[in-house]
A and B are shown apart, each in its own frame.
Chain A
Amino acid sequence: MSPGGDREGGADGQLGSAGMLGFPDPGPPLFSSVTEVRERLAEVGYLADDGIAGVVHLADRLAKPVLVEGPAGTGKTELAKSVARVTGSRLIRLQCYEGLDESKALYEWNYKKQLLRIQAQRVVDDDGSAPGSGSSTDRRGAEGEMSSWRDLEEDIFSEEFLLTRPLLEAIRSADPVVLLVDEVDRVELETEALLLEVLSEYQVSIPELGTIRAQQIPLVFLTSNNTRELSEALKRRCLYLHLDYPSLERERDIVLARVPGVTEELADQIARIVRSLRTLELKKYPSVSETLDWARTLVVLGVESIDAEQAKATLHVLLKYRSDLERAAKELAVAGEDRA
């Protein structure tokens, strides 16, 4: 059952029934409409299309994580950052890598501090035992030892000795938080399971402490470069957003928004050349971030309109493989008659 499954639809129904399920209070929605998402994201320089804005809006309303997939450099990570900026939330980032485990993602006991605590206790006990043993019987002494052991145990497994890692931190934070789990496809299949409890219930179970529930629902973004298929269990819990290369118009607007000093004409030309390049069969297509790099390069070089020579001379900013470069240079120079 999905966490939000029982809730009544509509923003008004959320608060009351959600509380009854023992599900953390989702709080008031961050955005009132899809258009608002779009406008506010545009203010911080992230141009969302309908799909992106729609999914962000839904993620906020349904209190569900978003799985963002797509080729490298299409603005997956940037989306999470921008949403954090727009909503004034703190961004907590968990960068995934092979070998990521519980102690790096969720929490860890600070065992050095625990050792110190035990040492300190021993010192106190040694000092205290001399006057104490005189006034009490042996039986009481044994009991006292037991209870001090229990105290100690309770003490060293308290929150003071807990090192929070990104996932737990996102859950425990009292202020609004955007949690970014970057490149989730890099962890092994087994490690994905770590995320499941956090993502669906917004809680973390720690055997010694019990379950820690979220104070507020963080907005979660998971990004994936699609180097492997993610597990069904993870996908099922998320909203899915596929970020592809942007349309011509959007790419032009992105260039205009992100590159200072670029003229509208140049931006248009850049977007069109990049689109043409993406129709070729290349090993790696130019990404949006590379388009932006290229635009910046051209602005720095003082280019106002690109001709074939300039394009050829600066293509290496866009394309990173030799064979791609050669093919692109050839194709751009000979027009497209043979392909028609």
Chain B
Amino acid sequence: MLDVLTGFIGELRAAGLPVSLTESIDAAEAVHHIPLEDREALKYALAATLVKSSAHWKAFETAFEVYFSMRGPQYDITDDDLPDAARTGDGQDDDAARGEGRGPGGGGGDGLSPEELAEMLFRALLSAHDAQVAALARQAVSRFAGMEPGRPVGGTYYLYRTLRNLDLDRVLERLMQSARAEAPDGTLTPLEERLARDEFKARLDRLRRELEDEIRRRLVADRGTEALARSLRKPLPEEIDFMHATRDELASLRRAIHPLTRKLAVRLARKRRHGRKGPLDFRSTMRHSLSTGGVPVDPKFRYPRPAKPEIIVIADISGSVASFARFTLHLVHAISSQFSKVRSFVFIDGIDEVTRFFENVDDVADAVHRINTEADVVWVDGHSDYGHALSVFWERWGEEITPRTSVLLLGDARNNYHASQAWVIQEIRHRARHVYWLNPEPRAYWGTGDSILGEYAVYCDDVFECRNLRQLEHFVTELA
């Protein structure tokens, strides 16, 4: 047990979770206090001792499923030993099994045709029969996923194949229809319809999870724990690279950014109030000295009220760096209460002010979305032209930069070999308080190819690499 635990903790650390020595000792001790045969209890015991942030839960869960999955011959990748599968050696070669190179006898379920399987699944989902859904999920995987021993593809590939064959969207529609048919007058009110749909979606999600689990179990049996854990390892939300995020990762970034803005706002507000001590507040000191008989024992100080900085964000939103710009705009505007003024400009080869999109909106995400569709940023061909955008900016808005303004430039400075017009940055630097450049590219790529960051960088106060939420958060904290 201890060996498994050590391996498991090693995996958590490799996935980026900070697990200390004390915590691993706690985990080992906690394991003594729970019945080992209870897998759920083990999971919660380990989670309570090892995972100290809800953002890390997903990574923990994945690792747990891999390390403490059911083992044994019945979970072999080719389900020859599935206890409930009646070996009828069905000869029918359905779509999924065809061409997968299976040995004879390996392609079976228990003699169900795909239609029958789909029908049973539908019934089980309709009656919310969990055990049956789980059993059918197992069947569906062995039938549709076409898993092969030793094939180095990820679980998502098998999951995709299974789901494609099951066609859950159609199942959902059928479920909805039968729900409608069951209603007394044959139709559902919009509210009922909505609730029924959400209910079925929840059931389908459960099915999807069952499928994932099943596939993972088989992969563990095939490839061994460590290898699989390594291939399933995903970056934590705060470490996802902006430039190479997949759609799912972008979604998890969006979810992560909301609590982050809240935290940042609280932290910045606090930093503003504390940390520095103001001058002596004579009146307050005297008033408080009354309780000590007029002796000013406890000097009171004025609260410092440092000026809030003004921010101008100038962001490149051309394809390659668009998502980075979006997240930064989102973050800066979400905490705009911490700044006296925030103005944003976006450009590709033309430049446009987008501050208006953020005015009087509740939902910053909406505003960011509108920028993409409504801002007028294309001048000639829609390829980044920093030089032109910057010189237009200087012409039209340069006057408005004051010594209280901090200017943030976002982009990779890949200028498609246009003129750099770096003098604009120099001029801005003269007027503004600070000029910072944030680049979502790894530092090693700066100045390679058509990146002319070096030409701009000499006029900036500082240039930061800003590839993930953690770096972005760090920068914003420093800024305010």
> Could you tell me which A residues sit within 8 Å of B by CB distance?
1-2, 4-5, 7, 9-10, 34, 50-51, 54-55, 57-58, 61-62, 64, 66-67, 69-70, 98, 188, 226-229, 232, 235-242, 244, 248, 269, 272-273, 275-276, 279, 281, 283, 306-308, 311, 321, 323, 331-336, 340
Bound CA–CA A188/B267 (angstroms):
10
Bound CA–CA A67/B472 (angstroms):
28
Instruction: Say yes or no: A55 contacts B32, CB within 8 Å.
Output: no
Interface residues in B24-38 (C-beta closer than 8 Å to A):
25-26, 29-30, 32-34
Instruction: Say yes or no: A51 contacts B47, CB within 8 Å.
Output: yes
From A58, A248, A279, A308, give the contact of B34 (CB < 8 A): A58
Residue B41 interfacial (CB < 8 Å):
yes
Residue B458 interfacial (CB < 8 Å):
no
Interface residues in B149-196 (C-beta closer than 8 Å to A):
169, 172, 188-191, 193-195
Instruction: Say yes or no: A5 contacts B189, CB within 8 Å.
Output: no
Do A227 and B195 form a contact, CB below 8 Å, given A34-B41, A51-B44, A51-B47?
A: no
Interface residues in B185-215 (C-beta closer than 8 Å to A):
188-191, 193-195, 197-199, 202
A-B contact pairs, 17 of them (CB 8 A): A2-B26, A5-B22, A9-B29, A54-B41, A55-B44, A226-B54, A232-B20, A236-B23, A238-B52, A239-B26, A239-B48, A240-B51, A241-B48, A281-B365, A308-B191, A311-B191, A336-B193
Bound CA–CA A236/B48 (angstroms):
11
Do A227 and B33 form a contact, CB below 8 Å, given A54-B45, A276-B195?
A: no
From B57, B198, B259, give the contact of A279 (CB < 8 A): B198
Bound CA–CA A69/B362 (angstroms):
26
Bound CA–CA A70/B53 (angstroms):
10
Q: Please name the residue on chain B nearest to A248 by beta carbon.
A: B202
Bound CA–CA A248/B172 (angstroms):
19
Interface SS, A side: mixed
Instruction: Say yes or no: B44 contacts A54, CB within 8 Å.
Output: yes
List 17 additional contacts besides A239-B49, A242-B57, A276-B195; criterion CB under 8 Å: A2-B26, A9-B29, A10-B33, A51-B44, A54-B44, A58-B34, A227-B263, A227-B266, A237-B22, A283-B363, A306-B191, A308-B189, A323-B363, A333-B191, A335-B191, A336-B198, A340-B169
Residue B18 interfacial (CB < 8 Å):
yes
Bound CA–CA A227/B30 (angstroms):
29
Task: Provide the residues of chain B in CB contact with A269, threshold 8 Å.
Answer: 195
Task: Provide the residues of chain A in CB contact with B25, threshold 8 Å.
Answer: 1-2, 5
Task: Provide the residues of chain A in CB contact with B362, threshold 8 Å.
Answer: 283, 321, 323
From A54, A62, A334, give the contact of B29 (CB < 8 A): A62
Task: Provide the residues of chain A in CB contact with B22, threshold 8 Å.
Answer: 1-2, 5, 236-237
Q: How many residues of B contact A (CB 8 A)?
A: 46
Bound CA–CA A332/B197 (angstroms):
12
Do A273 and B20 form a contact, CB below 8 Å, given A50-B41, A242-B57, A308-B189?
A: no
Instruction: Say yes or no: A62 contacts B54, CB within 8 Å.
Output: no
Bound CA–CA A7/B30 (angstroms):
11
Instruction: Say yes or no: B52 contacts A62, CB within 8 Å.
Output: no
Chain A min CB distance to B398 (Å): 36
Bound CA–CA A55/B57 (angstroms):
15
Do A275 and B202 form a contact, CB below 8 Å, given A5-B25, A69-B54, A239-B48?
A: yes
From A4, A323, A333, give the contact of B190 (CB < 8 A): A333
Task: Provide the residues of chain A in CB contact with B194, threshold 8 Å.
Answer: 276, 331-332, 334-336
Bound CA–CA A241/B45 (angstroms):
10
Residue B308 interfacial (CB < 8 Å):
no
Chain A min CB distance to B65 (Å): 16
Bound CA–CA A333/B191 (angstroms):
6
Chain B min CB distance to A191 (Å): 11
Residue B262 interfacial (CB < 8 Å):
yes
Task: Provide the residues of chain B in CB contact with A273, threshold 8 Å.
Answer: 191, 195
Chain B min CB distance to A162 (Å): 21
Chain B min CB distance to A114 (Å): 13
Bound CA–CA A248/B199 (angstroms):
9
From B26, B47, B51, B52, give the contact of A64 (CB < 8 A): B26
From A307, A308, A335, give the contact of B197 (CB < 8 A): A335
Instruction: Say yes or no: A9 contacts B33, CB within 8 Å.
Output: yes
Task: Provide the residues of chain A in CB contact with B198, threshold 8 Å.
Answer: 272, 275-276, 279, 336
Instruction: Say yes or no: B29 contacts A332, CB within 8 Å.
Output: no
Instruction: Say yes or no: A58 contacts B33, CB within 8 Å.
Output: yes
